[in-house]
Amino acid sequence: MMKGKKLLIGITASIAAYKIALLIRILKKAGAEVQVIMTPSAFEFIPPLTLATLSEKPVLSEFVKDQTGTWNNHVDLGLWADLMLIAPASANTLAKMAHGLCDNLLLATYLSARCPVAIAPAMDLDMYAHPTTQQNLQTLQSFGHLLIDAEVGPLASGLEGKGRMAEPEHIFRFLEQYFTPGRQELSGKKVLITAGPTREYIDPVRYISNGSTGKMGFALAKEFAANGADVTVVCGPTEATPPSSEWAEIIPVTTAHEMYEATLQKFEKTDIAVFTAAVSDYTPKQIAPEKIKKDSPEMNIKLVKSKDIAKEMGLRKQTGQLTIGFALETQNEEENARGKLQKKNLDFVVLNSLRDQGAGFGYDTNQITIIDSQGTHKFELKSKDKVAKDIVTYAIACWKRKEA
């Protein structure tokens, strides 16, 4: 996907510049050719020798190379690249780009570039939220530029919020998806997946849980990402290998309440939500502060209902959002699954039956039935990777119907 691709990386004055060294290393390992251009102020944040060594090309910053008059041709640079990435993109550089200012080699190359341009902003949260910055980002997107949006987390100021440059692995995943031919039907769409079990603790060492491995959710994450989506997985505790951080954001949780809170935080800006997690229906009303001793032949635990995450998100569902539920049933399978379709305001339900050999928890295979307002659609027993392809294909068709 990235092999042979020519990338111009423009680095501006931001503490996040140190992360670009790792990005260049990842890109080079994937076979890309990288040319770095830095603004003069960016030199204060990362030494050009590091970047030149990793990219295997001299870092460019000035129009004129030396006193002989040899110059760095910004026009040729703009014609050479398959894509220009500005990362980190400071508020100052964003403003100059949006208004056509040109006072350094990076900006001259940007104005000359005929290739697609991607932007990864980085700044403090109040600078990022400022109306002028948001307006500049909207202006640049109106030019057709790609936005690799800032992420939420701790900032150099000591504050915490949105403004962190996307992690190098996330930027690489974005670029890899961009250059993947013919599989970008969900490009720019945000997909949220819940996966795995939850644990509801009785005391510090004992808990109520189930046999979910999260494998189906992880296979879906990989397939959605392969179709260009920006994927987030809210994952309960499991020994299965989670999706690579290069193409999915992983939010680890333990309890049903933690999964609900993490899902709620992401849901509003999600285009497609897939609820594959086996969330505990009940949780102990009280958790013993110390390990419970075997002092009695019986022990009674009072349980209370936990949040029904799919139902709660269904109540918050906005026009245009697509929500997909899972149902694992042992009797009256289709009837129970169709009931969830209505009760939880889902677009379709993926039904698993424990009556089907090779389906359910712990297997690498699955056999599903998709139920929606159009009817019932049965599939054969397949590997979970192939099942994920079936589900994502169906989701894309539903998404297209919503957009039509």
Q: Answer yes or no: is 3 a known binding residue.
A: no
In this prediction, residue 374 carries a pLDDT of 79
CATH homologous superfamily of 6-178 equals: Flavin prenyltransferase-like (3.40.50.1950)
Give the residue extent of every domain in the chain.
Answer: 6-178, 190-288+300-403
Q: Is the pLDDT of residue 72 over 90?
A: no
Helices (H), 293-383: 309-316, 333-343
Beta bridge partners of 273: 192, 323
pLDDT in tens, 306-349: 999 999 999 999 999 999 999 988 788 889 899 999 899 999 99
Q: Answer yes or no: is 344 a known binding residue.
A: yes
Vertex 150: Cα angle to 104 and 237 (nearest 5): 145
Contact 198, 287 (CB under 8 A): no
Mean pLDDT of 240-245: 77
The model's confidence at residue 354, banded by pLDDT at 50, 70 and 90, is confident
The model's confidence at residue 182, banded by pLDDT at 50, 70 and 90, is low
Domain 190-288+300-403, CATH: 3.40.50.10300
Q: Is the pLDDT of residue 392 over 90?
A: yes
Point out the least confidently predicted range of 39-43, 297-301, 388-392. 297-301
In this prediction, residue 224 carries a pLDDT of 92
Q: Is the pLDDT of residue 383 over 90?
A: no
Mean pLDDT of 366-385: 88
Q: Is the pLDDT of residue 69 over 70?
A: no
- Common-topology check for domains 6-178 and 190-288+300-403: yes
Contact 276, 217 (CB under 8 A): yes
pLDDT in tens, 247-259: 789 999 999 999 9
Q: Give the C-alpha distances (Å, rounded to integers) separating 182 from 70, 72, 177, 340.
A: 42, 36, 10, 34
Helices (H), 56-90: 74-80
pLDDT in tens, 79-116: 889 999 999 999 999 999 999 999 999 999 999 898 88
Q: Is the pLDDT of residue 75 over 90?
A: no
Point out the least confidently predicted range of 75-89, 234-248, 387-401. 234-248
In this prediction, residue 332 carries a pLDDT of 86
Please confirm, yes or no, whether 210 is among the known catalytic residues: yes
Q: Answer yes or no: is 307 a known binding residue.
A: no
Mean pLDDT for the chain overall: 90
Rounded CA-CA distance 378/371 in Å is 9
Q: Answer yes or no: is 340 a known binding residue.
A: yes
Contact 55, 35 (CB under 8 A): yes
Q: Answer yes or no: is 317 a known binding residue.
A: no
Of 141, 278, 136, 121, the closest CA to residue 213 belongs to: 278
Of these residues, 72, 73, 92, 210, which one is catalytic?
210
Point out the least confidently predicted range of 10-19, 170-179, 180-189, 286-295. 180-189
| Tokens matching residue 186 | 């969900």
Beta bridge partners of 322: 272
Mean pLDDT of 65-75: 64
| Tokens matching residue 53 | 């060594």
Helices (H), 143-206: 168-178
Mean pLDDT of 10-17: 96
Sign (positive/negative) of CA torsion 182, 184, 186, 190?
positive
